[in-house]
Structure 1
Amino acid sequence: MEEGPYVLLYPDGSEVKNIPGTNTPFKLHLYKEIWDFPDEASTPNAGITPNAGSTSNAGSTSNSNYTRLYAPIIIDSDSEASDESRQDVQEERTDVLTSADIVSDLALKIIKTCCSRFNINRANVWDGAVRGFRRASYNPLHDMLVKFTDDEGTTEDAVDTGGPKREFLTLLMDCLRTRRIFDGPENRRFLTFNSAAAREDEYFLAGQMIAVSIVHGGPGPRFLSDMLYDHLTGRTAINGTVEDITDEIMKAALVEISSAASLDELHMLVDKYASLLQTAGCFHNPQSVEGKENIVKDFIQWYIIYRNQYSIQKFSDSLSTLDVIHALEQHPSVFRPYMCYSVEKLTSESLEAVFKAQLSEVGCTRRQEETRILGYWRDYLLDTGGKGYINTFYCCFVHISSYSIDILMSATGLDSLPPSTIQPQPLLTFESTSKFPIASTC
């Protein structure tokens, strides 16, 4: 090989920074000590052990899946493979992975025989969440049991087989969006330093909540700015805009600078806002009028990233809960729609695929009636999906009336499809107790 520099990349093209599964900076000799590849196999040799409560076979499966999802592709230096063939291998490895594949692998660590309980009042979801996550007995590896209380403080008569937990995590992600630790436009939020939040370790708590939500079957936040997400996953692209700046004085200064029509005007504006630019570390006299773009980009990067580095580091550290940060670093494009805002249209086809119909035996009279009703159900999904009637309604048992209820939320506890599969899969059963569809998130 020609002299460097070289970087090692994951299948999606992102740079390898740490040895997979650890916080140790990547060094080839250390990687070989931890990982062993006998007979072309990719099974961890050391450093990763099965979790408590799992069988040895489950641990072996987890390790094998972990290697398949997270181990970089290593091509020996004397390999005759061309760049094109290497790219084909990388694309093949990346295309077969979905967020559900990756999350299901992370979820193997969850110990189903242990449980962390959360008592949640919908009037103050954040308070109940904080108490639950900060409880001394809480362990993110334990399964979650969520109990909602009504206005009188009595526990709702509901058994959590997934729905209440998913509803709680959905409500929690909505709460996070408006917390004091975030700033910026509603759908492009970035971290900002708040001394009170730092004292209460809210940055770490927020990252842990997001990691737990993803692995335990809940939604992602879907409101982080692309610039923050790129920084968290090791990218350096500058994709912020002046509209991300919430300080009106700073925004007005950047608008003036970006509107400079001549070099003299640009120099005058740089002198005018010298103290502001010096604070951001981007004060200099450009040699051409095009230099204004670099000034604006550098300022935006300072405003969103560098001045909030403490907050971002705490947040990133807590995303390592259940190895979520490694999944984000190695598959950033897969998880971007769940971490950052994206327009998601829930079609009738995707909604229909969520439910598994439980039909009677072929040939019986009941089966004929069920298939007839199934046709009406699919027509209903077409009508509501096509017209986009959405009205979120949080309830454990609810009658679904046309054009007024978000079907997915009332049936699963989710207001959007999560990065994981919905387990257990929602069932569509046929009963004679009601003329109308009845949903039970429990």
Structure 2
Amino acid sequence: MVAGLEKRLFEGDSENGKIPKYSLNDLDKALFKVAGEIFAVSIAQGGPAPQFLQEWCYNYIVTRKLQTEGVHDMELSPLMTKIEGASDLSPYTHEILDCGYTGPIDTDHKTSILRAILLHSTTKRIPMLEQLREGLEVYNLMKVMERKPKECRSLFVVGHNDKVDSNYIMSHIAPELSSQGSTKQAKELKVLDYLQDYLNELEDFQQGETEQMQALNVPMVMQWMTGQAHKHLLVSDRNAFKITIIFDHNCLQHTPGHTVCYPLVSACTSTVTFPMAHLEDYESFRSNLHTAITHGASFDRL
């Protein structure tokens, strides 16, 4: 939901951050208020958080004071770059006037022109930010943001990466291993190694790999296991989080005659059960797990 709202109502890139789209239709429909409400609910429920805003947007939402530092506008920033390097501003007269600048258009007034363009980019988005702020009042989140602006900054501003990686998953694995030194335990440790290798393979994916690997990434594996694809927002939740791994060595006994079965997942309890009889080597593990994640709504024996 948060990702969909990001795509629908905001513009920019993942490096510089995003700003609200200048859309009076969306403003009239109060969609930015709806977005704020959904962001607040998502944060209250543990995420994901809307960590894609440019810092000036966050600062305005919290303080209602407009800043022009760090503004990146997909449309106007290229114009500003051209003006900064130009010795003749006459080719840009029309664009400059459209931004509300009414002073002399020459190189001696570049600073004033550039500031006018920045103000044009930011001020026209104030209604969208105000509506977003109104939505964030759900659960009194806005009051918390005003009291703790630095602590809440990472929930909204781009650059605070909550993307799940292989280390995050493996560091929270809680395997239920067989007796120390047993043959079963040796097989179970191999499967854990296979899981680590599989996650690393997804992370190391480069263009030109097979289409099979293109369809997956590490956050998708996390979502399959636990129901969420992001890191936990609270440190206490991260410390308490674990993914229980159970090893089923008897699937052939309790279901005779089946040819293959797939891992069983309980996302509510973050528990994964691996069918050991079908995971003899890495290739079989890789194929089995990939099929389970990409094709299984429920994981039943065939």
TM-score scaled by length of structure 2 = 0.63
Which amino acid in the other structure matches residue 158 of structure 2? C
State which of 213, 225, 242 in structure 2 corresponds to 1:411: 225
Q: Please tell me the residue identity of whatever aligns with 2:124.
A: R
Between the aligned partners of 2:153 and 2:96, the Cα distance in structure 1 is: 40
Question: For residues 374 and 202 of structure 1, what CA distance do their matches in structure 2 show?
Answer: 50
Residues 419/254 of structure 1: CA separation in 2 closer, same or farther (3 Å cut): same
Query: Which residue is 1:128 aligned to?
Result: none
Q: Which one of the candidate residues 198, 202, 206 is aligned to 2:31?
A: 202
> Which residue identity lines up with residue 136 of structure 2 in the other structure?
L
* AA aligned opposite 2:103: H
Partner in structure 1 of residue 167 of structure 2: 349
Query: What is the DSSP-based 3-state SS (H/G/I as helix, E as strand, rest coil) of the residue aligned with 2:125?
Result: helix
**Other structure's SS at 2:228 match:** coil
Asked if the contact 1:245/1:251 (under 8 Å) is kept, the reply is yes
Amino acid at match of 2:29: E
For 2:77 and 2:70, the matched residues in 1 are separated by: 16
Indicate if the aligned counterparts of 1:256 and 1:269 stay in contact, CA closer than 8 A.
no
1:189 counterpart SS class: strand
Q: Which residue of 1 aligns with 2:84?
A: 258
Give 1:312's match in structure 2, choosing from 116, 119, 129: 129
Change (3 A) 1:402 1:440: farther
Task: Tell me if structure 2 keeps the 8 A contact 1:356–1:427.
Answer: yes
Listed as ranges, the matches of 1:35-434 within 5 Å are 172-179=1-8, 181-185=9-13, 188-234=17-63, 236=67, 238-241=69-72, 244-246=73-75, 253-261=79-87, 265-266=88-89, 268=90, 273=95, 275-277=97-99, 279=100, 282-285=101-104, 289=108, 292-293=110-111, 295-303=113-121, 305-329=122-146, 330-332=148-150, 335-336=153-154, 339-340=157-158, 346-359=164-177, 369-370=184-185, 372-385=187-200, 387-388=202-203, 405=216, 406-420=220-234, 421=237, 425-432=242-249, 433=251
- The letter of the residue matching 2:133 is S
Q: How many residue pairs are counted as aligned between the two chains?
A: 243
How far residue 191 of structure 1 moved from its aligned partner, in angstroms, is: 1.4
What fraction of aligned residue pairs are identical, expressed as a percent?
Answer: 15
Query: Which digits, 9 at most, give the CA deviation of each residue in 1:193-248, with x for residues without a partner?
Result: 4343233321111001011111102211233233322332337351023xx233xx
The answer to whether the 8 Å contact 2:34/2:135 transfers is yes
2:142 is paired with a residue of what secondary structure? Answer: helix
SS of the aligned residue for 1:196 comes to helix
Query: Structure 1 residues 404 and 273, CA, compared in 2 at 3 Å: closer, same or farther?
Result: closer
Structure holding more helix per residue: 2
Aligned CA distance change for structure 1 residues 412 and 223 (closer, same or farther; 3 Å)? same
In 1, distance between residues paired with 2:185 and 2:226?
Answer: 22
Hey, what's the Cα distance between the residues in 2 that align with 1:197 and 1:374? 53
Q: Report the alpha carbon displacement of residue 308 of structure 1 after superposing the two structures with TM.
A: 1.8
CA RMSD of superposed structures (Å): 3.8
Change beyond 3 A, Cα 1:386–1:272: same
Q: Who is 1:11 aligned against?
A: none
Change in 2 beyond 3 A, CA 1:333/1:296: farther
Q: CA deviation at 1:321?
A: 1.8
Cα pair 1:224 1:340 within 8 Å, conserved: yes
Helix, strand or coil for the counterpart of 2:58? helix
Give the AA of the match of 1:430.
Answer: F
- Paired with 1:231 and 1:322, the residues of 2 have a C-alpha distance of 20
5+ residue gaps in structure 1?
1-171, 391-400
Q: CA 1:337/1:314 → structure 2, altered by over 3 Å: closer, same or farther? A: closer
Query: Match of 1:260, as an amino acid?
Result: A
Residue 40 of structure 2 aligns to a residue whose secondary structure is helix
SS class of match (1:384): helix
Are 1:245 and 1:300, in contact at CA under 8 Å, matched by a contact in 2? no
CA displacement at 1:312 relative to structure 2 = 0.8
How far residue 350 of structure 1 moved from its aligned partner, in angstroms, is 1.7
Instruction: After TM superposition, give the deviation of residue 426 of structure 1 in Å.
Output: 3.2
Contact 1:204 1:314 in 2 (8 A): yes
Q: Is residue 11–residue 19 contact of structure 2 (8 Å, CA) maintained in 1?
A: yes
What letter matches 1:239 in structure 2? G
SS in 2 for 1:429: strand
* Inter-partner Cα distance in structure 2 for 1:316 and 1:297: 25
1:410-435 CA distances to partner (integer Å, 9 max, x unpaired)? 11222231323367643222333387
Equivalent residue for 1:441?
267
| Amino acid corresponding to residue 276 of structure 1 in structure 2 | D
Instruction: Report SS of the residue matched to 2:124.
Output: helix
One-letter code aligned to 2:221: I
CA distance in 2: counterparts of 1:383 and 1:294, whole angstroms? 55
Alignment-derived partner of residue 295 in structure 2: none
CA contact under 8 A between 1:384 and 1:402: conserved in structure 2? no
Hey, what's the Cα distance between the residues in 2 that align with 1:284 and 1:333? 41
